[in-house]
């Protein structure tokens, strides 16, 4: 019986590892027009954040999702001192928010904070983003195979700088936390579009296209569903030139 118990445990652990870290081959493409990369900065330790989290979760039903709308949610760690450590927060996410604030000449950072294509987005009023007419900027294609990601960006502007940066984020959906301390003590919080891992690498230019290869971000967080978001930016600033995203199946 003890052997059978350990065998079942081993199979469960193996299944969990596979479900989190192995995904079927996937190709994710943008159109030519610029997609909107919407970044939400949030924290489980912030009492004003849950409405923004719900708003972000509802974007799963937006008709432009993955076509013209790429939402990603970064959990920041600067509210952890209140008494609740956000398990999704990473220091580099707060660093990213600070850099965006500097690029926008913002006096401070805050949660919930929204950024649309690199610009601070206030007064959104929790309304669904409307469709926007965007300029054609070029096609971004991401190919996920096993543990690797290959990105190709063919811009419409051939005068772009050589130093472009590729970004890949693994997103988790259907995540829940029962908060036991801090401003949200006693609440069960639900999260979607959560950035579980974010990786970057320099792109190589070859004629009219830019390419990059990197290891697919992995996480030991088990989610109901996963997606990947890709975006390309200049090394000198974080505002995306183009973005793409889509569901991945495991």
- Model's pTM, two decimal places? 0.89
pLDDT at 228 over 70: yes
Asked, for residue 67, whether it belongs to a domain, the answer is yes
Is residue 101 a part of any domain in this protein? yes
By C-alpha distance, which of 218, 211, 228, 202 is closest to 151? Answer: 211
Task: Give the tens place of pLDDT for each residue, 237-250.
Answer: 999 999 999 999 86
The answer to whether 196 and 172 have CB atoms below 8 angstroms apart is yes
**C-alpha dihedral over 207, 116, 93, 44, to 10 degrees?**
-150
pLDDT of residue 23: 65
Tokens linked to 187: 């609440």
Residue 87 lies in a domain: yes
pLDDT digits (tens, 9 = 90+) for 48-70: 999 999 999 999 999 999 999 99
DSSP letter (8 states) at residue 94: H
Tens digits of residue pLDDT in 101-123: 999 999 999 999 999 999 999 86
196, two tokens: 């579980």
**Is 130 domain-assigned?**
no
Please report the pLDDT score of residue 15 as a whole number. 32
Domain annotation covers residue 111: yes
Domain presence at residue 2: no
Average pLDDT over residues 84-89: 98
Domain of residue 160, residue span: 24-122+135-248
Query: Contact, 118 vs 237, CB < 8 A?
Result: yes
- Average of per-residue pLDDT across 132-156: 93
Q: How many domains does the chain have?
A: 1
Residues 129-136, mean pLDDT to the nearest whole number:
82
Mean pLDDT of 121-128: 78
Determine, yes or no, domain membership for 178.
yes
Residue 19 belongs to a domain: no
């Amino acid at each position: 019986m003890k052997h059978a118990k350990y065998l079942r445990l081993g199979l469960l652990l193996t299944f969990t590892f596979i479900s989190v870290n192995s995904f079927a081959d996937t190709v994710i493409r943008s159109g030519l027009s610029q997609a909107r990369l919407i970044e939400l900065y949030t924290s489980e330790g912030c009492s004003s954040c849950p409405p923004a989290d719900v708003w972000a979760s509802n974007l799963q039903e937006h008709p432009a999702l993955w076509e013209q709308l790429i939402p990603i949610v970064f959990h920041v760690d600067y509210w952890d001192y209140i008494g609740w450590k956000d398990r999704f927060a990473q220091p580099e996410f707060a660093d990213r928010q600070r850099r965006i604030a500097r690029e926008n000449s913002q006096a401070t950072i805050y949660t919930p904070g929204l950024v649309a294509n690199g610009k601070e987005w206030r007064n959104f009023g929790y309304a669904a983003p409307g469709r926007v007419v965007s300029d054609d900027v070029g096609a971004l294609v991401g190919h996920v195979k096993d543990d690797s990601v290959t990105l190709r960006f063919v811009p419409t502007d051939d005068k772009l700088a050589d130093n472009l940066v590729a970004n890949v984020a693994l997103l988790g959906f259907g995540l829940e936390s029962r908060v036991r301390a801090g401003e949200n003590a006693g609440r069960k919080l639900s999260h979607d579009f959560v950035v579980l891992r974010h990786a970057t690498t320099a792109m190589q230019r070859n004629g009219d296209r830019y390419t990059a290869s990197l290891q697919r971000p992995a996480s030991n967080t088990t989610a109901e569903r996963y997606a990947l978001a890709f975006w390309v930016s200049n090394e000198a600033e974080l505002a995306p030139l183009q973005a793409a995203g889509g569901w991945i199946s495991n």
